[in-house]
Amino acid sequence: MKTKSQSKLSFVLYEDRYPPRFYSIGKTKLRFIIYGLPTLTLISIIILGMGGIYFKHIERLAEKKEPAIIKSLRLDKQQLTSEIAKITTSRDLLQNKLSQGITKTTGLGFLSLFNQSAGRKDLTASPEMKLEEIELSPNSSNVSISFNVVNMTKDESRLTGYIFVVMKGGDNIQVWPKTSFTDSSMLVQFGNGQFFATSRFRPVRADFRKIPGVSNYLFKIVIFSRTGDLIFKQLISKTL
């Protein structure tokens, strides 16, 4: 009884107009109320405060990142809009060419190897590109010519088109790319050339079969636009 009484705290409560009331509470519960509850409250406040700081940090990071995402999306939209405008311009140009039909145009006689396309024009009088670092690299079986197609547009706009290299050695003529000729025709379609797109320069290397006993070679570089206009031509003479 003594041990049991020592583990409890008893008190009498007196109130006006009410009879006295007797209460008893365990010392363990009392310690919890006095020490435990304030400690738990303090820990909860600390956890809530740290959680608030963490989520505030996440919110700030999201605010910093959001403008970058919006900027990226805006740039993507501008690029898509520009590409759509270019495609629309090319479509209109092709429709205009097709409406003109195939006509014999002066100044393009040297293109007899190439299939005539509708409304083709010769725009080589004011080319927007040039060739640099032209080199000839022969070996025992092949002759290779390499060069850079350099963009010369004033606003450095993107150049696109199809490249052909015609090599003449003796009585032999070869055309690069090797897939230039179709199976059903001896004429070259302008769209069978090596496609390129560049804002600065485009390196090109064309390989040909070496002709025995021939040391003098002529190379003709011909470049068409994506719509079939002749936009560049240059004749190069090389000796092994």
pTM above 0.75, yes or no: no
- 17-59 pLDDT, tens digit per residue, is 778 777 777 777 777 777 777 888 888 888 888 888 888 878 7
Q: Within 13 A of 47's CA, how many CA atoms are on the CB side?
A: 6
Report the SS3 class of residue 196: strand
Per-residue pLDDT at 233? 93
Per-residue pLDDT at 144? 94
Per-residue pLDDT at 99? 47
User: What residues have CB less than 8 Å from 138, skipping those under 6 apart?
Assistant: 144, 210, 240
Integer Cα distance of 155 and 25 in angstroms: 90
Q: How far lies 92's CA from each of 86, 89, 98, 99, 116, in Å? A: 10, 5, 10, 11, 20
Segments of the chain with pLDDT less than 70? 1-7, 63-68, 92-112, 117-118, 182-185
Integer Cα distance of 37 and 30 in angstroms: 10
Integer Cα distance of 235 and 166 in angstroms: 9
Give, for 182, the enclosing helix (H) or strand (E): none
Helix residue ranges, H only, the chain: 2-6, 27-31, 37-100
Per-residue pLDDT at 101? 47
Per-residue pLDDT at 109? 52
In angstroms and rounded to an integer, the radius of gyration of the C-alpha atoms of the chain is 42
Fold of 109-239: Immunoglobulin-like (2.60.40)
Per-residue pLDDT at 196? 93
Per-residue pLDDT at 108? 53
As beta bridge partners, residue 18 has: 15
In the chain, where the domains are located: 1-75, 109-239
User: What residues have CB less than 8 Å from 75, skipping those under 6 apart?
Assistant: none
Per-residue pLDDT at 106? 46
Q: Token pair of 29, please?
A: 């519960």
Integer Cα distance of 222 and 233 in angstroms: 5
**Amino acid identity for residue 41 in this structure:** T
